[in-house]
Structure 1
């Protein structure tokens, strides 16, 4: 745990809470370091079953630390692209680890998810929003291109035309519209947001970790590969899953009319 990022654990469920509300949980150096360290640890955590990512103080994440960026320019620390590329590569390393975690990632967005904060939110498998949540690909307002993997995630989530409209206008999308567009799955009262995320995470703990990891990995490539390539991945994954202990236990329970271990409600 760092001051910028709080990490709590309940069994196999880890909750990451961005905790610099004074800066609207911007991706400060401390926040980036906290997230990078957490992703390295979680990516090799054999007991991990689900992750919840959220923010504190009624804010998810305001994106890049613009005050620090300005200070770097004034201090002459940014003279060309070569000064920016290492920071982008650092961002990409830990956000890729988050994206590729082999367990469910539930994102609970309360308040603004702007800029790179929007990219961070869209790394989740399930995105929940509070009634006061808002989303904004605000990069055009500061003469930048979208980052945080948004060129990949947003068009796949809402379609290319709508993604371009949000990239080009930098307009704010509030919770109800975000749900209609498909950016978030559910909109909840503020007090219900985290309990709902926790309930989903607990339910996911009873899944087959092997089956979930393979489903996540293959579905992530479903818009890149052709049908035959996906069928091949499907066959390989199913061969592993249908010979697993979890599957044998599940069908045994079914034939004995016992409730399944996993019951998503």
Structure 2
């Protein structure tokens, strides 16, 4: 039975809610990673899912790592090789799984997203924030490095210079600054956050789901491929897209001047 992640589906949209608010939704020291991996696997194979919303229960989005667990590692008898393997078999599986998921994921950041919590938001495709949201790449304040892929993720979202500024200072920024820095695409009143997230998810879900998944794959692969390689991959994906029933429906609806009905 799930103890960390709530999985709810309404129509074509799945909402994942981190639900340990008393601990500020930590990503370590609990079953968070395993539950995320199970949810991602389920979504990946469920063709009815066209968009995902990820949010947190309570005042925080996610406080990142469990500091008490860090103290056990740092002051206990756990050696460095064991810690390395814990990262590889633990939280490092999360960015790989989210990166590979072809369904678009919206982070609805309801409150502080700190350390691994910020990196989790960066693992998503889109981020919208409550006016109460706060963001920090705070690993340096704990005397550690971003072990969950943050050094790769954050520069690709906000650029190298600003990522360096956040990472080297550990500074907390507010939602307005996050919008200015293009860390998030929208800031909305706190009580309207999930309404705005669902509006965006529904807009995504209204499009042909197979093509949306392929489009996300191209965007993700383009983050580390050459232009020539991406063009080759795009040609292969386009050949598949042209053969879908949804492509035929889109063209027919456009010519008939009617709203298309995409079945996936």
Query: Is the shorter-chain TM-score for this pair beyond 0.5, marking a shared fold?
Result: yes
Q: 1:71: Cα distance to partner? A: 3.0
- After the TM superposition, which residues 97-246 of structure 1 pair with which residues of structure 2 at under 5 Å, given as runs? 97-246=97-246
Distance 1:66 1:44 in 2: 35
Cα pair 1:115 1:147 within 8 Å, conserved:
no
Q: 1:105: Cα distance to partner? A: 0.5
Distance 1:32 1:240 in 2: 33
- After the TM superposition, which residues 31-70 of structure 1 pair with which residues of structure 2 at under 5 Å, given as runs? 31-70=32-71
**1:25-73 deviations in whole A, cap 9, x for unaligned?**
1123132332232223223223222111000112100000011221344
Distance 1:81 1:101 in 2: 30
Normalization by structure 1: what TM-score?
A: 0.92
Distance 2:84 2:227 in 1: 39
Normalization by structure 2: what TM-score?
A: 0.92
Q: 1:253: Cα distance to partner? A: 0.6
Distance 1:97 1:161 in 2: 27
Cα pair 2:99 2:220 within 8 Å, conserved:
no
Q: 1:243: Cα distance to partner? A: 2.1
Q: 1:219: Cα distance to partner? A: 1.2
Cα pair 1:20 1:56 within 8 Å, conserved:
yes
RMSD across aligned positions (CA): 1.8
Structure 1 stretches lacking a partner, 5+ long: none
Distance 1:9 1:250 in 2: 26
Residue range with higher mean Cα deviation, 26-35 or 160-169: 26-35
SS in 2 for 1:14: strand
Cα pair 1:115 1:137 within 8 Å, conserved:
yes
2:17 alignment partner in structure 1: 17
Cα pair 1:40 1:94 within 8 Å, conserved:
no
1:253 alignment partner in structure 2: 253
**1:85-112 deviations in whole A, cap 9, x for unaligned?**
2333322223322222111111100111
Distance 1:231 1:89 in 2: 34
Distance 1:82 1:71 in 2: 13
Distance 2:190 2:8 in 1: 20
SS in 1 for 2:91: helix
**1:109-136 deviations in whole A, cap 9, x for unaligned?**
0111011111111111111000010110
**1:180-200 deviations in whole A, cap 9, x for unaligned?**
111101000001101111122
